[in-house]
Structure 1
Amino acid sequence: MTATATAVALTLGSGVADAAATPGSPGVGDVYFPDYGNGGYDVGHYDVRLRYQPKTDQLTGTTTILAETTQELSRFNLDFALDVTSVRVNNRAATFHREGAHELVVTPARAIPKGGDLTVVVQYAGIPSSVKVSGFTGWTRTSDGALAVNEPESAWWWFPSNDHPTDKATYDVSVLVPDDVQAISNGTLTGGPVKELNGWDRWSWRSAKPQATYLTFLAVGHYDIESDTAADGSPIVNAYSTSLGEFDGAARASVNRTNEVIETEENWFGDYPFEAQGGVVAPPAALGFALETQTRPVYDGRFWRRGGNTYVVAHELAHQWFGDSVSLGQWRDIWLNEGFASYAEWLWSDHEGEGTPQELFDYTYASYPEDDPFWQVLPGDPGADKVFDGAVYDRGALTVQALRVQIGDEAFFELLRTWLASHRYGDGTTGEFIALAEKISGQQLDSLFDTWLFTAGRPDLSATTKLARTSVADTDATPVKPKSFDKIQAVHEAHAALS
Structure 2
Amino acid sequence: MPRLVIRPLLATLVLPLVLGLSGPALPTAGARVSDPAPAAPAMAVEARAKPDTLFPRQGHTGYDVRHYDVGLRYEPVSNRLEASTAIRAVAKTSLRSFRLDFVGMAIDSIKVDGKPARWRRTAEHLVITPRTPLTKGRFVTTVAYSGTPSDYTDADGSQEGWVRTVDGAVALGEPVGTMTWIPSNNTPADKARYTFRIDVPNTVQATANGNLVSRERRGLRTTWTWQARDRMSTYLAMVAIGSFNVYRSSVESISGRTIPLWSFVDTTNDTSTAARALLPKVMTFQEKLFGAYPMTSGGMVVDNAAVGYALETQTRPFYPFSVDAATLVHETAHQWYGNSVTLRDWHDIWLAEGFATYAEWLWDGAHGGTSPAEHFDDLYATPADEGLWHPAPTEFTSSADLFGEPVYNRGAMTLQVLRERIGDTDFFRFVKRWATLHRQANASTLQLVTLAEQVSGEQLDGLFADWLELDGRPAGY
Is the TM-score greater than 0.5? yes
Report the counterpart of residue 344 of structure 2 in structure 1: 329
Alignment counterpart, residue 54 of structure 1, candidates 76, 96, 99? 76
Report the counterpart of residue 263 of structure 1 in structure 2: 284
Report the counterpart of residue 356 of structure 2 in structure 1: 341
Aligned partners of 1:25 and 1:120: how far apart in 2? 18
1:445 aligns with 2:460: yes
> 1:359 Cα deviation (Å)?
1.3
1:34 aligns with 2:56: yes
The residue type paired with residue 342 of structure 1 is T
Report the counterpart of residue 291 of structure 1 in structure 2: 311
1:140 aligns with 2:163: yes
Alignment counterpart, residue 379 of structure 1, candidates 393, 399, 413? 393
The residue type paired with residue 213 of structure 2 is T
Report the counterpart of residue 160 of structure 1 in structure 2: 183
Residues 151 and 177 of structure 2 are in contact (CA less than 8 Å); yes or no, is this contact kept in structure 1? Answer: no
> 1:131 Cα deviation (Å)?
7.4
Alignment counterpart, residue 103 of structure 1, candidates 125, 134, 141? 125
> 1:39 Cα deviation (Å)?
2.2
SS at match of 1:254: helix
Report the counterpart of residue 212 of structure 2 in structure 1: 189
Residues 209 and 226 of structure 2 are in contact (CA less than 8 Å); yes or no, is this contact kept in structure 1? Answer: yes
1:422 aligns with 2:442: no
SS at match of 2:258: coil
Report the counterpart of residue 147 of structure 2 in structure 1: 126
Report the counterpart of residue 73 of structure 1 in structure 2: 95
Say if 1:41 and 1:55 are closer, same or farther in 2 by CA, change over 3 A.
same
1:63 aligns with 2:85: yes
CA RMSD of aligned residues (A): 1.9
Say if 1:132 and 1:266 are closer, same or farther in 2 by CA, change over 3 A.
closer
Say if 1:415 and 1:131 are closer, same or farther in 2 by CA, change over 3 A.
closer
Say if 1:36 and 1:25 are closer, same or farther in 2 by CA, change over 3 A.
farther
Aligned partners of 1:421 and 1:382: how far apart in 2? 29
1:359 aligns with 2:369: no
Residues 173 and 234 of structure 2 are in contact (CA less than 8 Å); yes or no, is this contact kept in structure 1? Answer: no
The residue type paired with residue 347 of structure 2 is R
Encode CA deviations 1:384-424: one digit per residue, 9 max, x unaligned.
32010022111111111011101111111111111111111
Contiguous gaps of at least 5 residues in structure 2: 1-42
Residues 279 and 296 of structure 1 are in contact (CA less than 8 Å); yes or no, is this contact kept in structure 2? Answer: yes
The residue type paired with residue 217 of structure 1 is M
> 1:73 Cα deviation (Å)?
1.2
Say if 1:451 and 1:219 are closer, same or farther in 2 by CA, change over 3 A.
same
Aligned partners of 2:50 and 2:466: how far apart in 1? 30
Aligned partners of 2:455 and 2:309: how far apart in 1? 36
Report the counterpart of residue 258 of structure 2 in structure 1: 233
Encode CA deviations 1:416-461: one digit per residue, 9 max, x unaligned.
111111111111111111111112111111221121111122222x
Aligned partners of 1:126 and 1:23: how far apart in 2? 31
SS at match of 1:66: strand
> 1:159 Cα deviation (Å)?
1.2
Encode CA deviations 1:137-183: one digit per residue, 9 max, x unaligned.
52211111111013101221111111111111111101111111111
SS at match of 2:355: helix
Say if 1:143 and 1:122 are closer, same or farther in 2 by CA, change over 3 A.
same
Report the counterpart of residue 495 of structure 1 in structure 2: none
The residue type paired with residue 166 of structure 2 is S
> 1:84 Cα deviation (Å)?
1.0
Say if 1:351 and 1:210 are closer, same or farther in 2 by CA, change over 3 A.
same
Say if 1:174 and 1:165 are closer, same or farther in 2 by CA, change over 3 A.
same
Residues 25 and 77 of structure 1 are in contact (CA less than 8 Å); yes or no, is this contact kept in structure 2? Answer: no
Report the counterpart of residue 411 of structure 1 in structure 2: 426
Report the counterpart of residue 114 of structure 2 in structure 1: 91
Aligned partners of 1:124 and 1:359: how far apart in 2? 53
Aligned partners of 2:464 and 2:72: how far apart in 1? 46
Say if 1:130 and 1:227 are closer, same or farther in 2 by CA, change over 3 A.
closer
Aligned partners of 2:466 and 2:276: how far apart in 1? 37
The residue type paired with residue 163 of structure 1 is N
Say if 1:389 and 1:133 are closer, same or farther in 2 by CA, change over 3 A.
closer
TM-score normalized by the length of structure 1: 0.82
Say if 1:349 and 1:73 are closer, same or farther in 2 by CA, change over 3 A.
same
Say if 1:357 and 1:78 are closer, same or farther in 2 by CA, change over 3 A.
same
SS at match of 1:391: helix
Aligned partners of 2:388 and 2:249: how far apart in 1? 42
> 1:204 Cα deviation (Å)?
0.7
Residues 25 and 39 of structure 1 are in contact (CA less than 8 Å); yes or no, is this contact kept in structure 2? Answer: yes
Encode CA deviations 1:336-390: one digit per residue, 9 max, x unaligned.
0000000000011122121211111112222x22221321121122233201002
> 1:229 Cα deviation (Å)?
2.4
Report the counterpart of residue 24 of structure 1 in structure 2: 46
Residues 354 and 408 of structure 2 are in contact (CA less than 8 Å); yes or no, is this contact kept in structure 1? Answer: yes
Residues 263 and 301 of structure 2 are in contact (CA less than 8 Å); yes or no, is this contact kept in structure 1? Answer: yes
Contiguous gaps of at least 5 residues in structure 1: 1-20, 304-308, 465-499
Residues 68 and 85 of structure 2 are in contact (CA less than 8 Å); yes or no, is this contact kept in structure 1? Answer: yes
Identity of paired residues, percent? Answer: 40
- Structure with bigger gyration radius: 1
Q: How many residues align?
A: 427
Residues 151 and 162 of structure 2 are in contact (CA less than 8 Å); yes or no, is this contact kept in structure 1? Answer: no
Greater RCO, 1 or 2 (C-alpha within 8 Å, sep 6+):
2
TM-score normalized by the length of structure 2: 0.86
SS at match of 1:396: helix
Aligned partners of 2:131 and 2:82: how far apart in 1? 25
Residues 190 and 206 of structure 1 are in contact (CA less than 8 Å); yes or no, is this contact kept in structure 2? Answer: yes
Aligned partners of 1:51 and 1:376: how far apart in 2? 45
Say if 1:234 and 1:214 are closer, same or farther in 2 by CA, change over 3 A.
same
